[in-house]
Structure 1
Amino acid sequence: MGSAAGETASRKPRVVLGVSAGIAAYKACELLRLFTESGHDVRVVPTREALKFVGAPTWAALSGHPVASEVWEDVHEVPHVRIGQEADLVVVAPATADVLAKAACGLAGDLLTNTLLTARCPVVFAPAMHTEMWEHPATRANVATLRERGSLVIDPAVGRLTGADTGPGRLPEPREIFEVCRAILSGRPRDLAGRRVVVSAGGTREALDPVRFLGNRSSGLQGYALARAAVARGAQVTVVSANVTLDDPAGATVVRVESARDMRDAVLAAYGTADVIVMAAAVADFRPAERSGSKIKKTSDEPDPIHLTKNPDILAELGALRRDTGGPGPAVIVGFAAETDDILANGQAKLKRKGCDLLVVNEVGENLAFGTPDNAAVILSADGPAVEVPRGPKDALAHVVLDLVAPRLA
């Protein structure tokens, strides 16, 4: 009994990587590498047509397992049943419109579709196709069916497609797909399924002239970690992203902004349909009172002083809007407070002043929070005790925040 338990605990997580016949199949090689190098045991199951894009020897060499696409190969091992039964996760990337349709209808014409039918583990689809195919009512209906059955279908990215076309339908970056899958393998609940989550990320910039701006050191890493975590937990996610150079989180819609006023407009535009708003961005408190139309020249004289004026307080405005209207709007509002001293006292005052439900207070400074892969925080609540989160990966802090958000939605 103890030996079996030890074997289960020590074995590598088993991942099935399904690959369907899209030009983005070559990107699945990178996804496979990310899985294998992080200690996962990966079995690649391509469709027959997918092998025209990337051949079986490539998949076998990268995974360390033989590759088959038909149920008639190695029949004595019953692969059409066994592969799905033994998997801890099945991810199909790219998932074409054809494979989505077959999965939604329960067809079982090859090894991949048989595997999808026998899998009792989490299943993730990362669609990639032309915009017209993604937006077709048949595809939308198939996606809705798969989501209703519990599968996670990641919305495709917006960008360059085959040829000169651009639009929604691009496969998200492999690293971002991997991060969503890793969160699912860690056992995170799908407790945000059907919810709309808005996350602000990055740091706003306030223009002095066409060249210079006032800004801050925020990289957007924490906001993007929150977006990834929300996608993995089933949410429909919009990221209002200010001056971020990171890859878009897989499955999230990204709205790009620059200034605090731009961010305010974008967040308020999403306010009425959002269930949750998480203001993780570092929003400038002030902006230059006047913006020069041309580059400010250096002269021998002392430079003119820069006069500042207040920016809108987006978080406080959200809290007041919810309090005063009582109409449609987010059930949960989460704020972030970056502090350098008197962290808890300043945080408690801000929580009361801003009118949010949760306030994530973290210390910032040299090599702290901004631009680093880790973070530590105290999460203050308007209706409960504070939660201290020790220093660790920003993804871990993101899930602690969402652990506190989900019960408030219920």
Structure 2
Amino acid sequence: MLQLANKRILLGISGGIAAYKSAELVRTLTKAGATVRVIMTAGAMEFITPLTLQALSGNPVHHALLDETAEAGMGHIELARWADTILIAPASADLIARLAAGMGDDLLTTVCLASSAPLCLAPAMNQQMWAAATTKNNLSTLARLRGDALALFGPGSGAQACGDIGLGRMLEPEAIAQQLADRFVSGTLAGKQVVITAGPTREALDPVRYISNHSSGKMGYALAQAALEAGAQVTLISGPVSLPVPERITLVPVTSAADMLTASLATLGQCDVFIASAAVADYRPAAVAEQKIKKAGDEIQLTLVKNPDIIATVAHHPQRPFSVGFAAETHDVDSYARDKLERKNLDMIIANDVSRQDIGFGAENNAVTLYSRHGTTEFDVMNKTLLARQLIAAIAQQLKAQ
């Protein structure tokens, strides 16, 4: 069965008679669980209306670089960051040529330039245009520039609207959707057991109050989904969050740091990779009141004791798995990350600056630096779903090297 649950697909539609198939493609993608946003070129709107695609996708259709929908809503940069994958179907000869030349003369080409998401093209053109040396050269240029981040779906062969017969037909929507779904299955962690902690912990003060933090769990949940896509068996140990649990992932709900440590230690011996993305409270109240603490006086004194360091405990365990930590810092990010990498006996640590308002806690986007004993890799601002895939790929590569 076609599975695109939780995937963010930015569908670009260029001018050509095959644009009529794009309506069914939107329906197929959304039925498979994807969230679809559509960008149309001026030529595409000569063949199919934005209203049709808006009704099928459930989202506004974007078409002009400076129109109100694109700029006052998400903006072309936000569209570029939002996408897990950009799929252009149909991809005309003209659109392919403009992409190869690095042009940004409309919303679709601008978004392609501004996005680090993989680009998938479903070509559709006259058979002679497909066979033309310039088209082949443009595709070669794109392949050289984008490498593995470029995929061609088709074209197919058969009768064309112009009366010719040959290569150049856009593939049917179901075939395009299936090839797109296959792109998300990397297999780099096939057969591995991956445990991921996510979200905040809550440390009780009394029956109604607790100490916690602003973690939404989005990064940890995105990592769990990415590890699943990479072929792993995933256990997600999660503090209290308001997020849907990805299908085919084993959820272990916990509340406190002590609960999370117990659940984490229970996985050792069967765990190949442990990723500690949870924002665990550093301290907890020394005593938890049995009844609600009543307001009395202008001040109250609390005695806090240190919580166990979950990732350090796991990384120093006799049955330690490949251990990846997180460092959410507000200053001196580099020095704190390097110190934690060594002190906690980690294989990798992922650090980010949570003092920034546009990334980190609660935000849709993040920007991090990945530290290992072999060097550092920086990941610029992108949505957490795409970032999670890139981090899982880096973790899988290092795991294989070891």
TM bracket (short chain): 0.5 to 0.7
Cα offset for 1:253? Answer: 1.2
Aligned partner of 1:371: which letter? G
> Where do 1:202-241 residues align within 5 Å?
202-241=199-238
Query: 1: distance between equivalents of 2:23 and 2:397?
Result: 30
Residue 374 of structure 1 corresponds to 365
1:356 and 1:12, CA in 2 relative to 1: closer, same or farther beyond 3 A?
A: farther
Query: 2: distance between equivalents of 1:405 and 1:250?
Result: 22
Cα offset for 1:288? Answer: 0.4
The 8 Å contact of residues 208 and 291 in structure 1, kept in 2 or not, is answered as yes
Query: 2: distance between equivalents of 1:11 and 1:85?
Result: 11
Cα offset for 1:375? Answer: 0.6
1:29 and 1:189, CA in 2 relative to 1: closer, same or farther beyond 3 A?
A: closer
Question: Structure 1 vs Structure 2: percent identity of aligned residues?
Answer: 39
Question: TM-score, normalized by length of structure 2?
Answer: 0.58
Residue 358 of structure 1 corresponds to 348
1:245 matched to 2:235? The reply is no
Residue aligned with 2:266, SS = helix
Query: 2: distance between equivalents of 1:12 and 1:389?
Result: 38
1:290 and 1:192, CA in 2 relative to 1: closer, same or farther beyond 3 A?
A: same
Q: Aligned Cα RMSD in Å?
A: 3.7
The one of 158, 165, 175 equivalent to 1:87 is 175
Cα offset for 1:62? Answer: 4.9
Q: Which runs of 5+ in 1 are unaligned?
A: 1-5, 20-27, 41-60, 64-75, 77-81, 91-120, 123-180
Question: TM-score, normalized by length of structure 1?
Answer: 0.57
The one of 360, 378, 398 equivalent to 2:388 is 398
The 8 Å contact of residues 201 and 222 in structure 1, kept in 2 or not, is answered as yes
Cα offset for 1:346? Answer: 0.8
Runs of 4+ in 1 over 3 A off after TM superposition: 10-17, 28-40, 82-86
Residue 150 of structure 2 corresponds to none
Residue aligned with 1:254, SS = strand
Aligned partner of 2:239: which letter? A
Residue 273 of structure 1 corresponds to 270
The one of 252, 260, 263 equivalent to 1:263 is 260
The 8 Å contact of residues 14 and 87 in structure 1, kept in 2 or not, is answered as no
Query: 1: distance between equivalents of 2:362 and 2:301?
Result: 30
Residue 337 of structure 1 corresponds to 327
Residue 165 of structure 2 corresponds to none
Residue aligned with 1:88, SS = helix
The 8 Å contact of residues 23 and 56 in structure 2, kept in 1 or not, is answered as no
> Where do 1:18-167 residues align within 5 Å?
31=31, 34=34, 37=37, 62=56, 87-90=175-178, 121=179
Cα offset for 1:228? Answer: 0.9
Cα offset for 1:83? Answer: 7.7
1:307 and 1:197, CA in 2 relative to 1: closer, same or farther beyond 3 A?
A: same
Aligned partner of 2:310: which letter? I
Aligned partner of 2:362: which letter? G
Aligned length: 263
Aligned partner of 1:196: which letter? Q
Query: 2: distance between equivalents of 1:281 and 1:204?
Result: 8
Cα offset for 1:340? Answer: 0.6
Query: 1: distance between equivalents of 2:361 and 2:276?
Result: 15
Query: 1: distance between equivalents of 2:31 and 2:229?
Result: 17
Residue 283 of structure 1 corresponds to 280
Query: 1: distance between equivalents of 2:22 and 2:293?
Result: 59
Query: 1: distance between equivalents of 2:367 and 2:201?
Result: 22
Q: Which runs of 5+ in 2 are unaligned?
A: 1-13, 41-54, 58-158, 160-169
